[in-house]
Structure 1
Amino acid sequence: MGKQHAFGSKLSLSLAVAVSAVLTACGGGGGGSSTPTTPAATTPAATTTTPAATTPPAINNAQTTPSSNQAMYEQLRSQCPVVSYTSEEGFYACATGTYVGKNLKDGKTVCTVRLTRDGEVTYTMGDEVHAFKLAQNFFYSKSSPLAAEYPHIWGMGISADSAEDANGKVHGFELRLDPRAEADKKPDHLDIKYKFGNTLSPDSQSTCRVPL
């Protein structure tokens, strides 16, 4: 739990700072908090799923255009509840869908992330496929829009881990969306991070940058 509390506090703070920076640039602020809705009831798996050994599905380069990602952005904006911080499971259900982007490191390798309502994640980066189920260390945070006239000035973070394998290692999932500095523009991307290993020194990690 220590790891998740630390991560949750750090991400909550960074989201608040990002929104605050835009608020300062706009010369004001406003808005209130909303009461969180009841998260979807899900039952975490007792064991982690071994990464899929199958060949990843072929991905047409046309899929990297942001049209479907724009629909996902609207889903996150309109369907995910405003909650300052919670470690309850199930809130990730509002982010169910498929995200298509490219490796943040090289800007070329196509990546696809699929998240189901039950917490099943398939993270594909090039020819690597990682399949696992979210089971512990849940974190969810979403800020309310800066003001009615600035509907796109908000931030959001979701993270969770799979159950530990026989070696005490986990698959980690993190979705992060920050507002842009321009108050009249919506975010141009969100990042989905994957890592595998122990908490302090993961064996592997990568970030799928999803254009919006």
Structure 2
Amino acid sequence: MDFASEPIFVWMSQFAYQPGTVYAALIGMMMLSAVGFPLPEEVTLISVGILAFMGANPEHFPPPYPGAPVVNVHTASIIAFTAVVTSDFIIYLLGRVFGRKLLYHPRVHKFFPEDMMKRVEEWTHKYGAYACGIFRFTPGLRFPGHLACGMLHYPAWKFLVIDGIAALISVPTQIYLLAHYGEPILKYLRQFKMVVLAIIGLVLLYMLIKWLRNRFLKAKLTH
């Protein structure tokens, strides 16, 4: 792997030998993603999969010392799956306990446009508890969707089963795919790293502009 010496991959590889830090960050990011943090959980899962790949290939990504612990693909997959289902269920419980007053609270509602909320309500009424499985595969709708499932008092066991099956399909598979097929993916990232960095930069710029716009509108309304 001639690309293994690239500075960005050398920097990333150090975390492949810090499993405790990575697992803790994985749990934290899964929880934040569940409550609407603007970083898709897929980014975290892909990153962890790459770290697991690096840890499984010490000949290309040398450890800091012999026998250093590594990010294990099986452990990471179990932790990610558990964190995702737990965080989804917490959101469901919040919706069940606090109902519409939480979903339409001004501090929550301002992050979700009317068309998004309309889609959530349509899906929950059309598909019932099975909508939670759809929300799991729909970034941006997970938080309000899971709140709505709780708000409508769908059975908790059914929510856990459907959401668990959906998470089992979507969460561990991403980590396993990256862990086992990391080489061609890293080659692709190396080849198009400037494009990837440009996209990341544009996303961050968009988030900054959106944050500044919201602050401006809020300040304008208070005056």
Shared fold per TM-score greater than 0.5: no
Greater radius of gyration (CA): 2
Which structure: greater strand fraction?
Answer: 1
TM-score, structure 1 as length reference = 0.24
Which structure: greater helix fraction?
Answer: 2
